[in-house]
Amino acid sequence: MNSKQEKLEAFGRLLDIMDDLREKCPWDKKQDLQSLRHLTLEEVYELSDALLEENLDEVKKELGDVLLHLVFYAKIGSEKESFDIADVINSLNEKLIFRHPHIYGDVEVKDEDEVKQNWEKLKLKEGNKSVLSGVSKGTPSMVKAFRIQEKVKGIGFEFHNAEDAWKKVDEELAEFHTETASVKKEQELGDVFFSLINYARISGINPDSALEKTNLKFISRFQKMENLASERNLNLSEMPLEEMDLLWEEAKKG
């Protein structure tokens, strides 16, 4: 592994390269905060894919792409005479120190739950008017629900255990099944999803990761089913469901 000095030198070289690109490259010179935004989201999703696959070579590559974007935004900030990368890092350093009084102060905690509770309370002291004010509007719905639940847990608004959380799932499912109006049924289904996410979270399962792994598994099995059909000169779109089910079961065994 690299020494701290080597890490600092590598970061300094990145800053120099960013300066060169911003000055000399037609594409890089043209970019602004808005043009980079969607590209940043794409890079973060690619990092997410690598993390799910636990492909460390890809994680390294995608972390580099995300880091480039962070340095790019800071460069634009400095051009606007608003902030530079040192301001970004110093602000982060101060926030981390303030939110970890059990490390940099005299607060004592017994476990990670107390750390999270202190974290949310300290955020309110920083000026946040609501525990939920830090939840991004653009966050995907499942991740947003998970973050909402994590944040309210930080002030003690939480089921006592997973069993109690599952009772809420049963309750919401019953309400969903008894509702007939389409608008209300949609609302009740949302409640089912929210309660399932809550149960998963309390059980120590990340629901977003769980669903994405199921998505990948389904894609793999369905593509195997397509290959089996092709090998046998069969057209899936012309097959009855019962025959497709047989191919599906065969694909699952492969």
Region 89-107: mean pLDDT is 93
Per mean pLDDT, which range of 88-92, 113-117, 172-176, 214-218 is the poorest? 113-117
CA–CA separation, 49 and 59 (whole Å): 9
- Residue 247: CB atoms within 10 A of its CB come to 21
- Per the rule left: phi > 0, alpha: psi between -120 and 50, beta: everything else, 127 is left
Question: Given a cut of 80, is residue 126 above it in pLDDT?
Answer: no
CB of 208 within 8 A of CB of 143?
yes
pLDDT of residue 112: 85
Handedness of CA 205, 206, 208, 210 (dihedral sign): negative
Place of tokens 């025959």: 243
> What is the Cα–Cα distance from 24 to 46, expressed in whole angstroms?
28
How sure is the predictor about 138, in pLDDT bands with cuts at 50, 70 and 90? Answer: confident
Q: Annotate 227-240 with DSSP letters as a single string.
A: HHHHHTT--GGGS-
pTM over 0.75, yes/no = no
Q: At residue 145, does pLDDT exceed 90?
A: yes
Are 192 and 169 spatial neighbours (Cβ–Cβ below 8 Å)?
yes
- Distance CA(250)–CA(228), nearest Å, equals 9
Residue 184 has pLDDT above 90, yes or no: yes
Each residue's pLDDT tens digit, 159-177: 999 999 999 999 999 999 9
The DSSP call for residue 250 is H
Mean pLDDT rounded to a whole number for the chain = 94
pLDDT of 128 over the 80 cut: no
**DSSP states along 145-161:** HHHHHHHHHTTT-S-SS
In which band, very low, low, confident or very high, does the pLDDT at 158 lie, cut at 50, 70 and 90? very high
Select from 200, 202, 220, 203 the least CA-distant residue to 211.
Answer: 200
Is the Cα torsion angle 13, 17, 23, 29 positive or negative in sign?
negative
Structure tokens at 215: 């998505």
- The DSSP H or E segment spanning 39 is helix 33-53
* Six token digits for residue 74: 């800071």
